Structure 1
């Protein structure tokens, strides 16, 4: 039958591809017989024995070139042989690699057809017919070579990222390699903060890089004040002596510490010896103290000692008249 003849031819093709040196299992072609009639001398034709012509195509040659030629010849004649025995053959196309006609098994990929043994990775030449493949610019790659050549690289380990990928700070990371650069902990819901191209958890970032409050010494994270050559929490910016906030927003600075007006003048010795208030204008220095001019008065008659002439008695100023009446 036609199907058996086709199976017979395909087995013969497989034997040639595997380099089997046995003689071809195909049956010998039919013997053509020719009858030659000769006339006897008497005019009667004389029958002679038929001459048999046998063609043997079982040529054996172990060289690769010969084998390839034999395969090509067999493939080329296969269609015509099948046509003779009544089997219609339709070409499956031409291999995208070798350009030859495909008769047996084939692979369809990348919009073309291939011999199974010719559809291989362009790098390592591994056959891709029984495994998956990756395409790049119309060329097939096995999984290993594709990731090695084209997969994104982890910013931490520099290795190829083949599955899950995490993108942060304009770089790619393995999810397990994206952690705090200081403590090595994974980031939670609070996220991360970046410094010099490295990620940090919020705790370590503020500990390492945030300015410290000049009042309490803790990290300043949100609202802050800059004053007296330092950074402050708003609630920590108070008078260094009385610890009261500056209600009017005005403060005095002494040795890098903020002071209210009262305690600044107290430290400077510029509180009036009469009224106890700060002296901001002209003053009179006497009795190891300073006075507003209008507050430097006689301790008895309370008249202003405008001319600066006074007499002292037990640390108090007196005018000459009162001093003479009281102490002379």
Structure 2
């Protein structure tokens, strides 16, 4: 190395290419020698000796500028230092990836999105957007542990399977069970027998 016998010579500055001479005039970082005034942030040029810095692509960055190079969480807008979770094309901290309704963390959990790309856990999505039964007014959603459910639609109304009953006698109706079909009359859900009774009452002299 040039002037290696000179006790004041510490090496050639990686940045400016000049000799680093004299104690206290240089520093070593990233296995390279720099003049103190040359060892600066690649972005803002702040001197970095004695300060935290980050090496990226062989260049030193101050903490602030390094954090500004990182992707920011679309929820809290803070830099993502560790694992990035991506969903709907956006970056999240895993702990920020939550259901917009209940706040439950959905990292590693099944989720879905609504028409505006809002994140929902499966339960809350069903509760919020599922059709409601016209009898009990509760949402028609899959049972716990299941992913599908059956909805009965009659007269443009939605029913749970167990709520689909004759309005007069409470017989559970089903298009698949013989003798339990729906025979509507004047917008009322009726079984065959009760339909016949009502028709008889209407037409009786």
Residue aligning to 2:191:
260
- Alignment pair present for 1:226 and 2:146: no
Pairing of 1:198-217 with structure 2 (within 5 A):
198-201=118-121, 204-217=124-137
Give the counterpart of 1:181 among 89, 92, 100. Answer: 100
1:255–1:130 Cα change, 3 Å: farther
Give the counterpart of 2:28 among 107, 110, 132. Answer: 107
- Alignment pair present for 1:237 and 2:164: yes
Give the counterpart of 1:172 among 87, 91, 96. Answer: 91
| Distance in 1, Cα, partners of 2:150 & 2:187 | 17
1:88–1:123 Cα change, 3 Å: closer
Give the counterpart of 1:97 among 5, 9, 15. Answer: 15
Is residue 224–residue 231 contact of structure 1 (8 Å, CA) maintained in 2?
Answer: no
Give the counterpart of 2:49 among 117, 129, 152. Answer: 129
1:153–1:119 Cα change, 3 Å: same
* Structure ranking higher on relative contact order (CA contacts 8 Å, 6+ apart): 2
Give the counterpart of 2:58 among 138, 141, 162. Answer: 138
Residue aligning to 2:200:
269
Is residue 166–residue 172 contact of structure 1 (8 Å, CA) maintained in 2?
Answer: yes
**Secondary structure of 2:184's aligned partner:** strand
CA RMSD between the two structures = 3.6
| Distance in 2, Cα, partners of 1:193 & 1:242 | 40
**Secondary structure of 1:253's aligned partner:** coil
Unaligned 5+ residue runs, structure 1?
1-75, 80-86, 272-284, 289-328
- What whole-Å deviation, never above 9, does each CA across 1:261-303 have from its counterpart, x for those lacking one? 22223323399xxxxxxxxxxxxx9x84xxxxxxxxxxxxxxx
TM-score (norm 2): 0.70
How much does 1:142 deviate? 0.8
Please say which of residues 255-264 and 213-222 is displaced more in the overlay.
255-264
Is residue 93–residue 101 contact of structure 1 (8 Å, CA) maintained in 2?
Answer: yes
Give the structure with higher Rg (CA). Answer: 1
- What whole-Å deviation, never above 9, does each CA across 1:133-191 have from its counterpart, x for those lacking one? 2233432211111112x1222212333334675544443334564444345x3448976
| Distance in 2, Cα, partners of 1:120 & 1:251 | 81
1:151–1:270 Cα change, 3 Å: same
Unaligned 5+ residue runs, structure 2?
143-148
Q: Which has the higher helix share?
A: 1
Residue aligning to 2:5:
88
TM-score (norm 1): 0.47
1:118–1:256 Cα change, 3 Å: farther
1:155–1:263 Cα change, 3 Å: same
Is residue 107–residue 116 contact of structure 1 (8 Å, CA) maintained in 2?
Answer: no
